[in-house]
C-alpha cells in the first residue's frame, strides 16, 4: 500500500467517514462497513481529498491535462475552494 493510500484510510477513519460493523444499506443489503463521504465537511477535509485524488491520478499513469468536476453546491458559500492538485506535479 502506498503512503497516500494509507493516509487516506487513516483520514477516513479519523473523521469517522469509514466505519466497520454491521450496517443495513438503503438498498436493504447488509454490509460490514459504511463510508459516509458527507462527513468530509470542512475546507481542510476537501483540500486533503483533493490531494489524495491528485496523487491517485498521477500514480495511475493516466495522461491528463485537466481534472474537472462539478462544484458541490452545499460548499459553494464557503471560502474553501480546494481546487487542489495541491502541490502534486507530474
- The pTM of the full predicted model, rounded to 2 decimals, is 0.71
Rounded distance, CA 31 to CA 70, Å?
29
In terms of C-beta distances under 8 Å and separation of at least 24 residues, what long-range contacts does 29-37 make, across chains too? none
Cα dist. 5→19, 54, 65, 85 in Å? 17, 12, 23, 16
Rounded distance, CA 90 to CA 84, Å?
14
What residue ranges do the domains of the chain occupy? Answer: 3-63
At 66 the pLDDT is 83
Q: What is the largest CA-CA distance in the chain?
A: 43
At 32 the pLDDT is 98
pLDDT by residue for the chain (90 residues), tens only, comes to: 999 999 999 999 999 999 999 999 999 999 999 999 999 999 999 999 999 999 999 999 999 888 777 766 554 444 444 455 455 555
Amino acid at each position: 500500500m502506498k503512503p497516500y493510500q494509507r493516509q487516506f484510510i487513516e483520514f477516513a477513519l479519523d473523521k469517522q467517514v469509514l466505519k466497520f460493523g454491521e450496517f443495513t444499506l438503503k438498498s436493504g443489503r447488509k454490509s460490514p462497513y459504511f463510508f459516509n463521504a458527507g462527513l468530509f465537511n470542512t475546507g481542510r477535509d476537501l483540500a486533503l481529498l483533493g490531494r489524495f485524488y491528485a496523487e491517485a491520478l498521477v500514480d495511475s499513469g493516466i495522461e491528463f491535462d485537466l481534472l474537472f468536476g462539478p462544484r458541490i453546491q452545499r460548499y459553494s458559500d464557503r471560502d474553501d475552494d480546494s481546487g487542489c492538485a495541491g502541490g502534486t506535479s507530474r
